[in-house]
Structure 1
Amino acid sequence: MNTRSQESSQLQNVVRAIGWFSIALGVAEVLAPRATARTSGIEQRTGLVRSYGMRELVCGVGVLCARKPGGFLLARLCGDLLDLATVAVTRKPGGRTQRSRAMGAALGIAAIAAADAYATRACSRTGFQRRNALPAVTRDYTARTGFPRTPSEMRGAALSDFETPRDIAGPRELLPFSRQTDDAQTCRV
């Protein structure tokens, strides 16, 4: 395997790992916001943590599914900077344990931000596209009508084998527009 292919394979693995990590973190933040806030050493703002979780889920799915995941990786990087600011601003006042949790969360976020920055830069530099991605196909449907035959051939085709059910009654004036098999089936008003 040549060097370029090997680099692309490594970048593919990093991008996939970032996507799955983002989904896992998003699920944790959405389903257990209090525990996530406590682990991070920040105040328990469940609405804020849940909204960050939704952001992580959207970015994770985008990173895994997009043909060109660079935009979603950049959104993750911006989210990491927002997470760092949140940890710095909403740190719980407290003892040594709270400070160490907040510091550990900040270091973890910084490490993830570094991985996101590497992947974002590598994707933009190489024009990275997901392997096995289908090529963008533009189809021209302007000549399609939706009918299997021309309109003149289709005219009256539905009436060729249509039989009016016996239990349907309608006005006599509409009879010329339907198929009359015999006079006994005239509609009652």
Structure 2
Amino acid sequence: MSQKSMFLKDTIDKNGFLVLNHSKDLPSVMDIGGDWYSVLELIEERHIYVCKLIKGRTTYLSKELYYALKPFLQDAILNEEEEKIYSFIDTNEDVNTKILKFALNLESKVFKKALENMQKNLLITVLHGDQTLTASWSTYCWGTFKQWEETDPHPIIMEVEEAYEVAIRFLSPYLTEKQLKNLLKLKA
């Protein structure tokens, strides 16, 4: 693992998460000098889980925070479009966005919303990079949370009470009590 990736991993493990782009109120990859290819290395080695969780932003979760949030989020009921996308990804591992769009022929706005909702509920994630676009970005391939977990060499098992405590520890400095309850789908 590169020195930059190691530093990034240590920071994500300490914070529980980082968001992609600069943020005035959230820790971000860009603010600590990280880059896409360092993130990609951590994704491919299953040190981080990519989602759209914190305030609708691309979020890189530490393994500990992913496994803590899992019991609260992955029971979402999928709509018809989400079910089509999930099923396609589940049966055709390593699907890039271009193939997914072409194969399912969904309207762009519907497609984007479905992807974001499934990322928010930790149902799909990035498994690895695909085509290099620039020196700082590439396309990537999607997988389901099951595919990600099956390739995680060291999964973390925790009871719901412990998972809740871990989630609160990492997220309470950045989210209000109401935002936390909404995120964890808790009754007020």
TM-score by length of 1: 0.24
Structure having the larger proportion of residues in strand: 2
- Answer with 1 or 2: which has the greater Rg: 1
1 or 2 for the larger relative contact order (CA 8 Å, sep ≥6)?
2
